[in-house]
Structure 1
Amino acid sequence: MYARMFIPVFIIIVIALSVRYSMLYGNETEYANQRYQRDASDLVTYMHKALQPSLKVRDRTALDNTLASAMLLEADLAAAHLDYPGGHLEALRSQPTQAEYPAWFARLGGITPQQRTLDLGNARLVLSFVPTLPLTQVWRTLRQQAIITTGNIIIIYTLLGLLIYANTRMLRRVTDGTARFQDGDYGVRLPVSGTLEARTLAISFNNMAQRMQSLVHKLQQSQSQLSAQLTQTLQVQATLQTEKERIEVTLASIGDAVITTDLSGRIASINVMAQQLTGWQQEHARGMELHQVFVLANNFGQHSLLKSMAAIYAGSSVIKVGNQSMRNRNGQLYTVEYTANAIRSGADEIQGAILVFRDVTERRQLMQQISWQSSHDVLTGLPNRTALTTRFEQEVFHAREEHYPLAVCLFDLDRFQQVNDTLGQHIGDEVLKQAASRLHDFAGPRHYVARLGGDEFVMLLPRLDDRLATEKALERLLAELSRPYLCNGQQVSMSASAGVTIYGGSEVSADSLLRQADQALYQAKITGRNRAHFFDADLDEQVRTHHNRRTEVRAAVRAGELRLYYQPKLDMRKGRIIGMEALVRWAHPERGIVGPMEFLPIVEHSDVIVDIGEWVLREALRQLQQWRSYDAEWVVSVNIAARHFQRPDFVPKLKTILAEYPDVPAHMLELEILESSALSDMAHVRNIMLDCQALGISFALDDFGTGYSSMSYLKRLPADVLKIDQSFVRNMLVDRDDLHLVSAVIGLARSFGLGVIAEGVETIEHGAMLMRLGCDLVQGYGIARPMPPSEVQPWVDNFGSADVWQAAAQLPPIVNLHHEHALGTSQIPAFQQS
Structure 2
Amino acid sequence: MFERFSRLLSPLRIMLGRSASAAPVEGSRSLLLLRLENAEPLADHLGKAAMGHLVVRLSMTLSRATRPEDPVQIIAPGLFAVLLSGRDDLDAIGVARRLLDQAQTPIAVSGRDILPVLTGVLIHAEGAPLPDLAEMTENARQRFETLTDDALGRVTLFPYDPALTTGGRGASVAEAAAAGQIQAYFQPQVCCNTGAVRGFELLARWNHPERGLLLPGAFFGRMSVEDHGALTLAILDQGLRALKAWDRAGWDVPCVALNISNCELANPDFAAGILWELDRHDLRPERLTIEVLETVGPITSNAEARRNLMALARAGCHIDLDDFGTGYASLDAIRQFGVQRIKIDRSFVTGCDIDPAQQRMILAILALAERLGIAALAEGVETREEYTFLAQMGCDEVQGHAIARPMPLEEVAAYLARQAANGRSIGRLLG
Query: Residue 617 of structure 1 aligns to which amino acid in structure 2?
Result: L
Q: Structure with the greater relative contact order (CA < 8 A, sep ≥ 6): 1 or 2?
A: 2
Q: Which runs of 5 or more residues in structure 1 are unaligned?
A: 1-541, 807-830
Taking the TM superposition and a 5 Å limit, the aligned residue runs for 1:137-152 are none
Taking the TM superposition and a 5 Å limit, the aligned residue runs for 1:384-399 are none
Tell me, what secondary structure is at the counterpart of 2:281? coil
Assess, with a 3 A threshold, how the Cα gap between structure 1 residues 656 and 736 changes in structure 2: closer, same or farther.
same
Assess, with a 3 A threshold, how the Cα gap between structure 1 residues 544 and 750 changes in structure 2: closer, same or farther.
closer
Residue 624, structure 1, aligned to residue 243, structure 2: yes
CA distance in 1, matches of 2:347, 2:422: 24
Q: 2:323 aligns with which of 696, 699, 703?
A: 703
Assess, with a 3 A threshold, how the Cα gap between structure 1 residues 792 and 710 changes in structure 2: closer, same or farther.
same
Residue 105 (structure 2) aligns with:
none
Assess, with a 3 A threshold, how the Cα gap between structure 1 residues 691 and 579 changes in structure 2: closer, same or farther.
same
Q: 1:600 aligns with which of 220, 227, 242?
A: 220
Would you say the 8 A contact 1:757–1:775 is kept in 2?
Answer: yes
Deviation at 1:643, TM superposition (A): 0.9
Assess, with a 3 A threshold, how the Cα gap between structure 1 residues 641 and 725 changes in structure 2: closer, same or farther.
same
Deviation at 1:546, TM superposition (A): 1.7
Q: 1:726 aligns with which of 346, 351, 357?
A: 346
Deviation at 1:801, TM superposition (A): 5.4
Taking the TM superposition and a 5 Å limit, the aligned residue runs for 1:571-590 are 571-590=191-210
Would you say the 8 A contact 1:703–1:723 is kept in 2?
Answer: yes
Query: Residue 406 of structure 2 aligns to which amino acid in structure 1?
Result: P
Q: 2:406 aligns with which of 762, 786, 798?
A: 786
Deviation at 1:733, TM superposition (A): 2.2
Deviation at 1:739, TM superposition (A): 1.8
Query: Residue 673 of structure 1 aligns to which amino acid in structure 2?
Result: V
CA distance in 2, matches of 1:832, 1:556: 36
Assess, with a 3 A threshold, how the Cα gap between structure 1 residues 550 and 689 changes in structure 2: closer, same or farther.
farther
Residue 761 (structure 1) aligns with:
381
Query: Residue 753 of structure 1 aligns to which amino acid in structure 2?
Result: G
Query: Residue 627 of structure 1 aligns to which amino acid in structure 2?
Result: W
CA distance in 1, matches of 2:313, 2:430: 38
Residue 647 (structure 1) aligns with:
267
Residue 285 (structure 2) aligns with:
666
Residue 805 (structure 1) aligns with:
426
Deviation at 1:803, TM superposition (A): 6.7
Residue 570 (structure 1) aligns with:
190
TM-superposition CA deviations, 1:389-421 (whole Å, max 9, x none): xxxxxxxxxxxxxxxxxxxxxxxxxxxxxxxxx
Assess, with a 3 A threshold, how the Cα gap between structure 1 residues 764 and 694 changes in structure 2: closer, same or farther.
same
Q: 1:637 aligns with which of 236, 257, 266?
A: 257
Residue 611, structure 1, aligned to residue 230, structure 2: yes
Query: Residue 703 of structure 1 aligns to which amino acid in structure 2?
Result: D
Would you say the 8 A contact 2:189–2:398 is kept in 1?
Answer: yes
Deviation at 1:737, TM superposition (A): 2.0
TM-superposition CA deviations, 1:480-519 (whole Å, max 9, x none): xxxxxxxxxxxxxxxxxxxxxxxxxxxxxxxxxxxxxxxx
Deviation at 1:794, TM superposition (A): 0.9
Taking the TM superposition and a 5 Å limit, the aligned residue runs for 1:162-173 are none
CA distance in 1, matches of 2:252, 2:426: 23
TM-superposition CA deviations, 1:63-98 (whole Å, max 9, x none): xxxxxxxxxxxxxxxxxxxxxxxxxxxxxxxxxxxx
TM-superposition CA deviations, 1:180-212 (whole Å, max 9, x none): xxxxxxxxxxxxxxxxxxxxxxxxxxxxxxxxx
Residue 358 (structure 2) aligns with:
738
CA distance in 2, matches of 1:753, 1:576: 21
Work out which of the two has the higher radius of gyration on C-alpha atoms and give 1 or 2: 1
CA RMSD in angstroms comes to: 2.6
Assess, with a 3 A threshold, how the Cα gap between structure 1 residues 648 and 777 changes in structure 2: closer, same or farther.
same
CA distance in 1, matches of 2:363, 2:322: 17
Q: 1:557 aligns with which of 167, 177, 186?
A: 177
Taking the TM superposition and a 5 Å limit, the aligned residue runs for 1:674-713 are 674-678=293-297, 680-681=300-301, 683-713=303-333
Query: Residue 805 of structure 1 aligns to which amino acid in structure 2?
Result: I
Query: Residue 313 of structure 2 aligns to which amino acid in structure 1?
Result: Q
Tell me, what secondary structure is at the counterpart of 1:718? coil
Tell me, what secondary structure is at the counterpart of 2:202? strand
Query: Residue 231 of structure 2 aligns to which amino acid in structure 1?
Result: I
Assess, with a 3 A threshold, how the Cα gap between structure 1 residues 710 and 803 changes in structure 2: closer, same or farther.
same
Deviation at 1:769, TM superposition (A): 0.7
Would you say the 8 A contact 1:703–1:725 is kept in 2?
Answer: yes
CA distance in 1, matches of 2:387, 2:271: 36
Taking the TM superposition and a 5 Å limit, the aligned residue runs for 1:441-452 are none
Taking the TM superposition and a 5 Å limit, the aligned residue runs for 1:430-579 are 545-546=165-166, 548=168, 551-579=171-199
Assess, with a 3 A threshold, how the Cα gap between structure 1 residues 694 and 626 changes in structure 2: closer, same or farther.
same
Q: Which is helix-richer, 1 or 2?
A: 1
Q: Displaced runs of 4+ in structure 1, greater than 6 A?
A: none
Taking the TM superposition and a 5 Å limit, the aligned residue runs for 1:122-271 are none
Residue 129 (structure 1) aligns with:
none
Tell me, what secondary structure is at the counterpart of 2:405? coil
Would you say the 8 A contact 2:275–2:285 is kept in 1?
Answer: no
Would you say the 8 A contact 1:549–1:602 is kept in 2?
Answer: no
Assess, with a 3 A threshold, how the Cα gap between structure 1 residues 550 and 667 changes in structure 2: closer, same or farther.
farther
Residue 277 (structure 2) aligns with:
657
Assess, with a 3 A threshold, how the Cα gap between structure 1 residues 611 and 552 changes in structure 2: closer, same or farther.
closer
Assess, with a 3 A threshold, how the Cα gap between structure 1 residues 574 and 832 changes in structure 2: closer, same or farther.
closer
CA distance in 2, matches of 1:713, 1:655: 21
CA distance in 2, matches of 1:578, 1:788: 18
Q: TM-score normalized by structure 2?
A: 0.57
Would you say the 8 A contact 2:196–2:424 is kept in 1?
Answer: no
Assess, with a 3 A threshold, how the Cα gap between structure 1 residues 770 and 610 changes in structure 2: closer, same or farther.
same
CA distance in 2, matches of 1:627, 1:646: 32
Assess, with a 3 A threshold, how the Cα gap between structure 1 residues 673 and 550 changes in structure 2: closer, same or farther.
farther
Would you say the 8 A contact 2:292–2:320 is kept in 1?
Answer: yes
Assess, with a 3 A threshold, how the Cα gap between structure 1 residues 712 and 651 changes in structure 2: closer, same or farther.
closer
CA distance in 1, matches of 2:418, 2:195: 13
Would you say the 8 A contact 2:173–2:231 is kept in 1?
Answer: no
Would you say the 8 A contact 1:572–1:805 is kept in 2?
Answer: yes
Assess, with a 3 A threshold, how the Cα gap between structure 1 residues 565 and 549 changes in structure 2: closer, same or farther.
farther
Would you say the 8 A contact 1:613–1:641 is kept in 2?
Answer: no
Q: TM-score normalized by structure 1?
A: 0.30
Assess, with a 3 A threshold, how the Cα gap between structure 1 residues 547 and 705 changes in structure 2: closer, same or farther.
farther
Q: Which runs of 5 or more residues in structure 2 are unaligned?
A: 1-161
Would you say the 8 A contact 2:164–2:218 is kept in 1?
Answer: no
Would you say the 8 A contact 1:572–1:802 is kept in 2?
Answer: no
Count of residues in Structure 1 that have an aligned counterpart in Structure 2: 267
Identity value in percent: 31
Deviation at 1:651, TM superposition (A): 1.7
Deviation at 1:610, TM superposition (A): 1.0
Deviation at 1:795, TM superposition (A): 1.4
Residue 749 (structure 1) aligns with:
369
CA distance in 1, matches of 2:272, 2:407: 31
CA distance in 1, matches of 2:329, 2:169: 32
Residue 439 (structure 1) aligns with:
none
